[in-house]
Structure 1
């Protein structure tokens, strides 16, 4: 069965998404043009020498039944996704070209979304955000200059809901496996007095998770007020979420993967009677609220400007039951109980984050006869507190509830300016230039980081050419440089250096009404790349280390093909080699030269495929398949660190009914994930340690690994009513 699935995917895998813009969309061209001004400074078109894919709200809708945005993007080229809870709800992750989420620059309406310290993107803090997304663009490679941390694998920018011309009310609900339920309500007033619109959404998602106790309770909201006339667009947005998820980042070992793949060791402890139990509140509990104010102005004579102000407030904790922790960790002095000296205790602790992120981004555009110029930049400030509380302890000498056993703070400023120029040299040739200056200062005083006060000044040039062979064929070549600062976890793991990337892209695009193909070659050469080591820190965050020289070399092909009037075929293929150059590793106390090794979490083959059958404009059936080749979770090519190749196939149905009275639209959706019930693992971790105590005088390097199994066959059913 597995060979049959893989063969069918390979036959169809030449490309996905470049031509998806032909899917039906209910928004008008006028709405989209006005709202796209918000992201014009960070997005590209086929006139730019950048590799990208666009996805619209209409394309997301059939599968948007409560799963996170990374899972909805799973079938794009070079993309690999995973879910801690195993079913796409809760903590989810995305990698592009082998680069993890800390290297994928994410913006929402041009505002940076990556966490300033970890560089991560935590979609669990914005549940059901796809329901308020108008469209998104994924740029692979360095891409164009944007706001926030530099892109080392991809850039993902989201545009939130466009201004709606007509008022509506919408109710949606979905239910499925593992008691997963999503309910939301949306509304819009439509344009009032041809100028004002107010809209919003409330959502709640709950799930037990595929993994034992990996539950999620997620609430979110989205509110928008807009003013629009011929020359002005002003938008005020408030959105955010509150997540409570039972922790599932521990993973399981290879033996447990065979005997009990749904086992979750989080919260496990032994009670006073020697019984194994699980702490019921081993959870993350975090709130995040965002405020954005955008003002876009047409200044006349080809000039227009955009300025935005933003503020993000985040606060929350994760709670843990800890057995036999040393007093020293919490600053406790030893005590004597019944004549026995006590130096350790069972306890429950909370580790808090309390942070503020605010700033401004801006741009001014000028359209000339043969050129388009964009000048822009941004200034952002992050202030974060990290502290820990003990809320219960079996033995707690001279301690009060919620005493802080550590109290750290950090501050980061990020300033950038850029200039972009698209110049139409003649009817065939176009030139592209993009220059960015970025200055970052990071200060921290954490126990794990030590004292940090570093300033980084980066120059990130980009240049390219585009050749239009004819109205259908387009070729491009680009060279781009990206520099990137270390994140907080890098400082905790040692003395990191900033990393540098040179990215070369060579592509061909074919666009006709029935056939659209995008093909590109890429070569990404890194200096001091901070690659994932495979290890996790004590809160489940991946650790990285500088590796000197490394590279990624690959071919990507994606396509959208109409096969007659009712079939659409969207395949994609990514083949790559990803290497650390002259890698060294200390094994058994001896430094070894391993030569070129595979970069962690970088499969050499990724295939996606979507075949859709549309017997009518209202009825669509789609089969979606993903194949991810063998990958290593570390950088030393250890067999223990191997993640086996896997394939996953989903089946999606969408049917729209248009009643004559009361209800405008009824949309019925069904999504059956992993229809062949593959027992696969999409993520894990790898670690080594030196054992110099079992046999004194001898050092032996021990290897170990953990795995995150994904759910077998599971389903979600949904209904949407629009009034």
Structure 2
């Protein structure tokens, strides 16, 4: 994963702001001015940035000023919530635990790129925003390309591409000190300084920040840092070199599990207003906040970028990068009298009784926990509870290079390659024995029993080069490495003139997979068979500018994408999937744009078919009559996503901008895939079968969204903004165990639960004073969910409404497990720029 600095473009790569999320260029003269402004912050080289009225894709762009002003203490992806077909939530509400869907596709299938370099996990496709907690501090622009996108790489852009562009080393000389505060003890300090570009061609940009406090939900304390250093050097007009290193070491307590609406009412809520802050994963230990689910990670990324202007018509751009992620997330191991920690009696407030768990582990009587521990201090998988950590570290090296040649004023071509090597390191360790002296684990066939006596603090390692991994004797439950090597080639041919822009693009890639398991196999059998899979994509499109006001575009493409690592080696073993096949994606899109000095708008129609999908889903439910927590590996899913999108922008006077959007989707499953269920504690397959999904609505993202906002410049130093957004046709995700076809339930075809629609109003105001020619002071305040709306942001279960209305809340069965959205939140900041 890679941060890459930004600088003046050699490829005339320009962003023109073109959606409701940002200001449109109002006149031809203003367009030129804005393009020059954007050129200061856009990365050249490997970043594929869509251009208004030229690149035939649906696109939204957000600039640095909007991110700085309006994001506040929200999660980074939430800044995109007012763009069409985007649904971002805070999910459980822990620091950095947010998620984003584009056109109904989750972020595992939406390509996230930092300066043109892909950052989705190479095994799972996942993006963990907590790893990028400081990204908002160093972003100069952010572009969302919905659908196929303009990236030339063979990447996971089924739903779209989110390209984040970071600040340039040669940004103008300036310093900044910012102090921020917010609800629930949130506070932030930030310092940055840019030296500007010297006469000898050197430039440096530095940033350091710290953010701490609690999130809106209970039991979500956190502390995060962010550092960023960019050094640029231009020895001549032909060469430009930039080196960057950035990282965001953090720890945060999580709300990992959704709770039933019953519990949100029972523990501190009422029938009219459930307790939105309730979190079942935390409690008090020795008088301090303690969470069974704590995430900690440090994912430093360093890159070296070289742009070489070989001739006036030929340019070579290269980015070499490295990432060494270390950390993991905690959970429980073991039981007390057959019960997991979250099944034990709780306090009257619904908190975990960690002090009593320690007492029971040490042999003391805790009457409502059941029988006394007969082997105190000595825990194992069935007796005693500890906190463990699932380590998910990695080493990642990559290089992307592209050669662009312009044959004449109209015709150009690009060719290049993308090479990556990735090693994922996965195992579990103990972080807190909770009063025990040891934990006995029998998972390692080469070391039974393994009596573990060491614990390791659940805190991030600041070593930017990765540090050491733990000894096998300290590991429990599983220990394996995932190796993914990638080599891809890509090319594009583009023809443009004043009215017409046409491109044809293709890429091919080979992924080499191998799995090494240190616990389930003898030493000479630990390395799996290597598997090579070839994927490719072909796409093309055309944009035609009818006149200075109207344009139309069309694009289409076909992808064959290699499946994720878990589909190659089934059920957490070295067994190669005998039915291994690529995922198939077919997509078409038609768009229309209107531009004028006052009003601008875009309309898009799209249809995407996605087949042979593999998905790894968390599952909590009854299998064979037993409560199980684990994962479901689902193979052969097919989804259809189609819809319409509208966004517009009106600027009747210079001091007022009105923007809005509307999107309506129809997203559903076709067919009934197969699944295997893996129990979390033992890491073993406990059941397999078919899931009844045919016709089920795709959940987890609102299929109808709308927004309307205004930005008002009251005076030269004072501004105000308001944004209202609405979400409807939001369906629950499906719980895999509830869709399993069995003899007792041959057709579990209950429809997805449609959650209540909701609308939220956000307000903000800012003021800026110039103290002298080089110094200024800026104040900003934001209030989100001004009316404190109570709403459900997501649900993982689909239990139909109960015939007894007393068991329903707003028409939703209270037995459903949900995350409520945050209530009213606020933040304020003061910045001194010099």
Which category of TM-score, normalised to the shorter sequence, fits these structures?
0.7 to 0.9
2:28 is the counterpart of 1:58 = no
The one of 504, 509, 512 aligned to 1:438: 509
Number of the residue aligned with 1:237: 244
Instruction: Tell me the SS of whatever aligns to 1:70.
Output: helix
Instruction: Tell me the SS of whatever aligns to 1:616.
Output: coil
Number of the residue aligned with 2:742: none
Sort the Cα spacing of 1:483 and 1:645 in 2 relative to 1 into closer, same or farther, 3 A.
Answer: farther
Q: What TM-score results when the alignment is normalised by the length of structure 1?
A: 0.85
Sort the Cα spacing of 1:29 and 1:227 in 2 relative to 1 into closer, same or farther, 3 A.
Answer: farther
Number of the residue aligned with 2:430: 390
2:250 is the counterpart of 1:246 = no
Number of the residue aligned with 1:693: none
Matches within 5 A, 1:312-391: 312-324=323-335, 337=375, 344-367=383-406, 368-391=408-431
Sort the Cα spacing of 1:172 and 1:567 in 2 relative to 1 into closer, same or farther, 3 A.
Answer: same
Is contact 2:245-2:302 (8 Å) kept?
Answer: yes
2:756 is the counterpart of 1:644 = yes
Is contact 1:504-1:523 (8 Å) kept?
Answer: yes
2:540 is the counterpart of 1:463 = yes
Number of the residue aligned with 2:21: 17
Shift of residue 381, structure 1, vs aligned partner: 0.7
Number of the residue aligned with 2:720: 621
Shift of residue 358, structure 1, vs aligned partner: 0.7
Instruction: Tell me the SS of whatever aligns to 2:452.
Output: coil
Number of the residue aligned with 1:400: 453
The one of 312, 319, 336 aligned to 1:301: 312
Is contact 1:66-1:89 (8 Å) kept?
Answer: no
Number of the residue aligned with 2:370: none
Mapped partners of 2:814, 2:136: distance in 1:
40
Shift of residue 509, structure 1, vs aligned partner: 1.4
Mapped partners of 2:490, 2:693: distance in 1:
41
Deviates more, 1:20-29 or 1:433-442: 20-29
Deviations 1:41-61 (A, max 9, x none): 464553121111111112222
Mapped partners of 1:633, 1:642: distance in 2:
6
The one of 250, 255, 261 aligned to 2:276: 261
Mapped partners of 1:75, 1:541: distance in 2:
35
Is contact 2:24-2:600 (8 Å) kept?
Answer: no
Shift of residue 384, structure 1, vs aligned partner: 1.6
Shift of residue 582, structure 1, vs aligned partner: 4.3
Mapped partners of 1:17, 1:341: distance in 2:
54
Is contact 2:314-2:403 (8 Å) kept?
Answer: yes
TM-align CA RMSD: 3.7
Instruction: Tell me the SS of whatever aligns to 1:159.
Output: strand
Matches within 5 A, 1:282-681: 282-324=293-335, 337=375, 344-367=383-406, 368-391=408-431, 392=433, 393=436, 396=439, 398-402=451-455, 403-405=474-476, 406-424=478-496, 427-445=498-516, 453-488=530-565, 497-530=581-614, 535=619, 545-583=634-672, 596-634=695-733, 638=750, 641-660=753-772, 664-681=775-792
Is contact 2:91-2:793 (8 Å) kept?
Answer: no
Runs (5+) with no aligned partner, structure 2: 1-17, 270-274, 341-372, 441-450, 456-473, 622-626, 676-687, 740-748, 800-812
Sort the Cα spacing of 1:669 and 1:477 in 2 relative to 1 into closer, same or farther, 3 A.
Answer: same
Mapped partners of 1:296, 1:62: distance in 2:
32
Number of the residue aligned with 1:11: none
Instruction: Tell me the SS of whatever aligns to 1:292.
Output: strand
Deviates more, 1:251-260 or 1:143-152: 143-152
Number of the residue aligned with 1:227: 233
Is contact 2:115-2:164 (8 Å) kept?
Answer: yes
Instruction: Tell me the SS of whatever aligns to 1:513.
Output: coil
Shift of residue 34, structure 1, vs aligned partner: 8.2
Shift of residue 559, structure 1, vs aligned partner: 1.3
Mapped partners of 2:796, 2:63: distance in 1:
34
2:138 is the counterpart of 1:132 = yes
Number of the residue aligned with 2:102: 96
Shift of residue 595, structure 1, vs aligned partner: 5.1
Number of the residue aligned with 1:695: none
Number of the residue aligned with 2:39: 32
How many residue pairs align between the two structures? 682
Is contact 1:585-1:594 (8 Å) kept?
Answer: no
Mapped partners of 1:59, 1:657: distance in 2:
18
Is contact 1:85-1:248 (8 Å) kept?
Answer: yes
Instruction: Tell me the SS of whatever aligns to 1:686.
Output: coil
Deviations 1:314-334 (A, max 9, x none): 00132334451799x9xxxxx
Is contact 2:175-2:833 (8 Å) kept?
Answer: yes
Runs (5+) with no aligned partner, structure 1: 1-13, 330-334, 689-701
Deviates more, 1:182-191 or 1:491-500: 491-500
Shift of residue 185, structure 1, vs aligned partner: 0.5
Mapped partners of 1:583, 1:345: distance in 2:
40
Is contact 1:188-1:200 (8 Å) kept?
Answer: yes
Shift of residue 653, structure 1, vs aligned partner: 1.1
Mapped partners of 2:329, 2:797: distance in 1:
23
Sort the Cα spacing of 1:407 and 1:93 in 2 relative to 1 into closer, same or farther, 3 A.
Answer: same
The one of 810, 813, 817 aligned to 1:706: 817
Shift of residue 124, structure 1, vs aligned partner: 1.0
Mapped partners of 1:540, 1:220: distance in 2:
34
Structure that is richer in strand per residue: 1
Instruction: Tell me the SS of whatever aligns to 2:259.
Output: coil
Deviates more, 1:641-650 or 1:412-421: 641-650
Is contact 1:145-1:436 (8 Å) kept?
Answer: no
Sort the Cα spacing of 1:215 and 1:492 in 2 relative to 1 into closer, same or farther, 3 A.
Answer: farther
Sort the Cα spacing of 1:639 and 1:207 in 2 relative to 1 into closer, same or farther, 3 A.
Answer: farther
Q: What TM-score results when the alignment is normalised by the length of structure 2?
A: 0.75
